[in-house]
Chain A
Amino acid sequence: MTTLPARPPLARSSDRVIAGVCSGLAAHLGWPVKNVRLGMVLASFAGGAGLVFYAWLWIMVPTADEAARRNARRPASPIAPAVSQPMPGQPIQGPATPGYPAQGAAPDAGTPTGADGSVPDGPASAAPPWFRVRGMRYGKEILLGCGLLLVAGIMIAQLLGVDVSLGTLIPAAAVLGGASIAWMQLDETRRAGLVDKTKADQAGGWGRLAAGLALVVAGVLVMVSGSGSWEQTWLALLASVAVLGGVVLVLLPWALKFWRDLEAERAGRIRETERAEIAAHLHDSVLQTLALIQRRAGNEHDVVRLARAQERELRGWLFQDPGRESGQLSDRIKAVAAEVEDLLGNAVEVVTVGDAAMTEAHEALVQASREAMLNASRHGGGTVSVYLEASDGQAEIFIKDRGPGFELGDVPADRLGVRESIVGRMKRHGGSAAILSTGDGTEVRLKLPAAAEHAEGKS
């Protein structure tokens, strides 16, 4: 059993004798190239089938370069796989995909799937609804294959002398084909409508719907009129179109109204869900905090702390850009500032400019600034201002308070706070720390150059 995820897409290889079809096919199927070439040559003697197949693949299958370019240009695939793709977290049930090799059979059967160039990029980790996934992705190909098989069967039957009345078969096939085209279309637009309401290729959708409808109408007409004269057929066509037009005219306003109601209801439901989510959040956070504040009304310190913590939480929820990646340096600094604020009750205002991904050296920087914030809040006794300026090049943090200040030399030797946790830590990680203290306050300046990550990152 070949494992599907490793199967490379069907593309004409650059390692070629004529057009790279055989080696591409071999790479795709995981067979030896020699066998494929031999098979192709042998098949060519069977009424030229191999030659036809080869030519067909040559035309339909892109070269490796083309396939790569096409994949790059078109991100993933349109809507259906995006919808049916299993969630990454979904558990895999049962032994891996007993029926999966069947998927590989679809391109082999000679359907145009291979020309797509992007076939096996699908949901490789086979989650439970694999059959549904496959049904959606290859539905058209399978239908087409069935149709071709049917045609082949009929032709063979005719060759064997069985009398098949083409007069009824062809219209019936036309009806079936038209109906399936139209239905597939319906299914797809519905799905597209669920995903996003822009419906990018609506024109194509309408076109296909019209084609399907025309096929069905033509098939029914031919069947009913029993391959009569053209005149009769035209009359019937005219009559049926007129009837259809009348029905549409009558039903259109009603259908439009129905559609609008549906849209309004959907919008209302979305709003309702949003409102419920906001209400739940406010209940869990703000209402609880307000209740706490009322109970602690006597203690000013507690009230301020609670209010600050709630403000922070609410701000994070309201203003945080959901698309931003978290876990960056600025997030860590803000988290540490919040922690210090909770611990000591003095506000810590953080202003950040730029950002950087966390490294080990950055973690040391965060710890050093935490120590500095603790000192500033404890000894400064007022608002602590924290400013972070980060880029890929370097990171700088300034922590400022407006306390009475201190002399670094006056700090007892056994107090490790400033000397070890701030200055020493920064030096060990290739950064620097400076402490400026005057009567108007103290500022700790921490600096971490980018090169430090590589030189000292492991310490």
Chain B
Amino acid sequence: MNTTQGTGAPGTGAGSGRPANSVRVVIVDDHAIFRSGLKADLDASIQVVGEAATVEQAIAVIAEQRPDVVLLDVHLPGGLGGGGREVIAGSAALLSTTRFLALSVSDAAEDVVAVIRAGARGYVTKTISGAEITDAVFRVAGGDAVFSPRLAGFVLDAFGTAPADIADDELDKLSARELEVMRLIARGYSYKEVAKELFISIKTVETHVSAVLRKLQLSSRHELTKWAAERRLL
């Protein structure tokens, strides 16, 4: 599997925010092959405590196991057809302790933005390598956001590449620094490399990324919905 290198690359420069004890994870995906492959790929320090294949199963397993991180497929059968979004909505009470990391084969902006706005802390594509997904799981467990280059590209496309004026609603635009961070992530930089490039600490990079995630989730900016709708599927 080493040859299938992911788009992900949230960075190998871990360390900060990584909890000492092992992380408990639930895998939600409707393909058994993918679940077992992912389980084999994950680091030994990650403990898979449950699996689910449908929306209902997922909500039940998450409520029962209360994992640290849920690896969540965006497209899932069951429920009302909302897929991963619906799982997050159904587990809303646990959002403070359980973090969701979205996994998808879909490139569609609508899917990505929808699941992030529902409350996921990050988004990676399924072609990501075992080491990268492990790193992403620890990062999300530590409360940080995980942005793949593609998600960063979506954010830049949605929010525009011009920095915010003071007059703007702070949720509707990215600050100049946040834009820089997003651009570097879109260019394939790891958090560590971003930190080095901008002469800031990794912690600061993580703070910026989390701020962007918050804006992505909370912004009521109408362009964002319009933008996502314009790129919707047939």
Contact = CB atoms under 8 A, between A and B. Distances in A.
Interface of A: 300-301, 304, 307, 315, 318-319, 321-322, 347, 349, 351-354, 382-383, 385, 387, 389, 391, 398, 400, 440, 443
A351 B186 contact: yes
B161 A353 contact: yes
Nearest to B6: A383
A387 B153 contact: yes
Contacts of B127: 347
A385 B149 contact: yes
B224 interface: no
Majority secondary structure, B binding face? loop
Contact of A387 (B3, B186, B230): B186
Interface string B112-156: 000000000000000100000000000000000000011011001
B167 interface: no
A258 to B, nearest CB: 31
Contacts of B9: 383, 385
A322 B234 contact: yes
Contact of B107 (A301, A315, A383): A315
A385 B4 contact: no
A443 B194 CA distance: 13
B106 interface: yes
A29 B183 CA distance: 62
Interface residues of B, number: 27
Interface in B59-117: 106-108
Contact of A389 (B4, B6, B7, B183): B183
Given A351-B150, A391-B161, A319 B188 contact: no
A321 B150 CA distance: 17
B4 A304 contact: yes
Contacts of B7: 349, 383
Contacts of A353: 153, 156-157, 161, 186
Which of B4, B7, B149, B187 has the most C-beta atoms of chain A within 10 angstroms of its own C-beta? B187
Given A351-B153, A352-B153, 4 more contacts: A349-B188, A351-B149, A351-B150, A354-B157
Contact of B188 (A315, A322, A400): A400
Contacts of A382: 5
Contacts of A354: 157, 161
Contacts of B157: 353-354
Contact of B149 (A301, A318, A349): A349
A385 B188 contact: yes
Contacts, number: 62
B203 interface: no
Contacts of B149: 349, 351, 385, 387
Contacts of B230: 321
A33 to B, nearest CB: 51
Nearest to A315: B107
Contacts of A389: 156, 161, 183
A427 B15 CA distance: 42
B41 interface: no
A319 B186 contact: no
7 contacts: A321-B231, A347-B4, A351-B186, A351-B187, A353-B161, A389-B156, A440-B193
Contacts of A319: 106-108, 233
A376 to B, nearest CB: 10
Contacts of A352: 153
Nearest to B129: A383
A459 B87 CA distance: 57
A27 B150 CA distance: 59
Contact of B152 (A315, A321, A351): A351
Contacts of B156: 353, 389
Given A352-B153, A387-B149, A387-B153, A398 B187 contact: yes
Contacts of A387: 149, 153, 183, 186-188
A443 B187 contact: yes
A304 B127 CA distance: 12
A60 B212 CA distance: 61
Which of A304, A322, A349 has the most C-beta atoms of chain B within 10 angstroms of its own C-beta? A349
A347 B9 CA distance: 13
A318 B232 CA distance: 11
Interface in B215-234: 230-231, 233-234
Contacts of B153: 351-353, 387
Contacts of B231: 321
A318 B186 CA distance: 23
Nearest to B149: A351
Nearest to B158: A353
B217 to A, nearest CB: 20
A385 B152 CA distance: 13
Contacts of A349: 7, 149-150, 188
Contacts of B107: 315, 319
Contacts of B108: 319
A449 to B, nearest CB: 15
A322 B231 CA distance: 10
A383 B129 CA distance: 11
